[in-house]
Amino acid sequence: MVLSGLVVADFSRVLAGPYATMLLADLGADVVKVERPGVGDDTREWGPPYAPGGEATYFLGVNRNKRSIALDLRADAEVARALAARADVLVENFRPGTMDRLGLGYDALRELNPGLVYCSITGFGSGPGAALPGYDLIAQAVGGLMSVTGEPDGPGTKVGVALVDVITGLHAALGILAALRHRDSTGEGQRVEVSLLSSLLSALTNQASAYAAAGVVPRAMGNRHPSIVPYEVFETADRPLVIAAGNDRLFQALCGALGRPDLAEDARYATNAGRVAARADLVAELNAALRERPADEWFELLTAAGVPCGPINDLAAAFALATDLGLEPAVELGGVGQVANPIRLSATPPAYRLPPPGLGQDEAWVREILGP
């Protein structure tokens, strides 16, 4: 495996850090999860739901392929430092300054291990925002995501998963891999810093660019798109259907499949800019046509015409669709279902070697790699 032999000291907990280290573990890294004695990662208690064995599914979802050791970072400081000295990568998401006070900060550890890639994940950086609590919900609120999510007259809506944590974890993993590439060339480690707020602003892409490049402050539009029409949820005879006709050709194909070629010939709707300006009238016309048939019939007809569309699935239906499409979305590990790693590599694919660990179960293994 591509990261075999790489040792990752994972001092993180909850989601952003554990998600990043699980991605590295799936690619072969030996990840040592450092947890609080008797308590462990907070997410061990974040249930329901629970898997058949009684473990919280939240914890199980981001901690496979890892080994666990329970350490009191004050009483067991020397063990923690020995692990950092042995590691290639260290990941932590304590409030800025905490690891320094424990003698485990980057400046102290790089003297001990010059090749160490040290990744710090914060909520709002290590400067003036250092004291702010790094919770995903807070980042969604103050970072603008809730302002563009939900209905226009609503109070702002959070996304249905801790998406900012996940995005930050992805950025952390990418930064770590870039730093490892640099170390391969120079032998030098470095510090990698990512924050929830910066990661969210980057991930807001076109919405953030509207402000950065044009001074436009986007607002919530429900399921509508600020710059593309038709690209939203439509009514059918029985249930909603999403249609994403992102260019003139697809709009023409949609109109043909609906039996309304006249809409594509209407000068008001000839360009995307025109369709955005005349959104209300066009959507009313499309809804009237779509209400003539149920969603499944439209899905078949529009897909055959090359028009991107789909029903709004729940997770059971989403997993079923991915399975039908041959994407193998789930695996079983230790008798418990797991969401598969989405990365496909032809030569060094991800592997599922270890189920999520019990608290402190791998102390003997960890002490063995640390040596006498």
* Residue-wise pLDDT tens digits, 11-40: 999 999 999 999 999 999 999 999 999 999
Q: Is 182 a catalytic residue?
A: no
The total of other beta-carbon atoms located within 10 Å of residue 178's CB is: 13
**Calpha distance 197→206 (Å, rounded):** 16
CATH code of the domain occupying 241-311: 3.30.1540.10
> What pLDDT, on a 0 to 100 scale, did the predictor assign at position 369?
87
Asked whether residue 248 carries a pLDDT value surpassing 90, the answer given is yes
Asked whether residue 162 carries a pLDDT value surpassing 70, the answer given is yes
Nearest to 64 by CA among 76, 55, 77: 55
Please give the full DSSP string across 101-154, using - where no structure is assigned: HTT-SHHHHHHH-TT-EEEEEESS-SSTTTTS---HHHHHHHTSTGGGSS-TTS
Bridge partner residues of 70 (DSSP): 35
7-203+328-370 homologous superfamily: Crotonobetainyl-coa:carnitine coa-transferase; domain 1 (3.40.50.10540)
**Calpha distance 88→4 (Å, rounded):** 12
Q: What is the CA radius of gyration of the chain?
A: 25
Report, as an integer, the average pLDDT of 126-130.
Answer: 93
Report, as an integer, the average pLDDT of 94-117.
Answer: 96
Sign of the CA dihedral with 263 first, then 269, 272, and 276 last: negative
**Calpha distance 110→116 (Å, rounded):** 6
**Calpha distance 66→18 (Å, rounded):** 10
Asked whether residue 212 carries a pLDDT value surpassing 80, the answer given is yes
Domains 7-203+328-370 and 241-311 in one fold: no
Catalytic-role residue among 225, 260, 279, 367: 225
Sign of the CA dihedral with 157 first, then 161, 165, and 168 last: negative
Residue 49: asked if its preceding bond is cis (omega within 30°), the reply is: yes
Decide if 16 contacts 300 (C-beta within 8 A).
Answer: no
Decide if 232 contacts 283 (C-beta within 8 A).
Answer: yes
Q: How confident is the model at residue 262 (pLDDT cuts 50, 70, 90)?
A: very high
pTM over 0.75: yes
Residues 6+ apart with CB under 8 A from 256: 264, 305
> What pLDDT, on a 0 to 100 scale, did the predictor assign at position 372?
67
Higher per-residue confidence, 53 vs 44: 44
**Calpha distance 356→141 (Å, rounded):** 31
Nearest to 354 by CA among 64, 138, 115, 130: 64
Decide if 237 contacts 291 (C-beta within 8 A).
Answer: yes
The secondary structure element, H or E, covering residue 224 is: none
Bridge partner residues of 113 (DSSP): none
Question: Where are the chain's structural domains?
Answer: 7-203+328-370, 241-311
* Residue-wise pLDDT tens digits, 80-89: 999 999 999 9
Asked whether residue 178 carries a pLDDT value surpassing 70, the answer given is yes
* Residue-wise pLDDT tens digits, 303-350: 999 999 999 999 999 999 999 999 999 999 988 999 999 999 999 999
Nearest to 157 by CA among 147, 143, 144, 142: 147
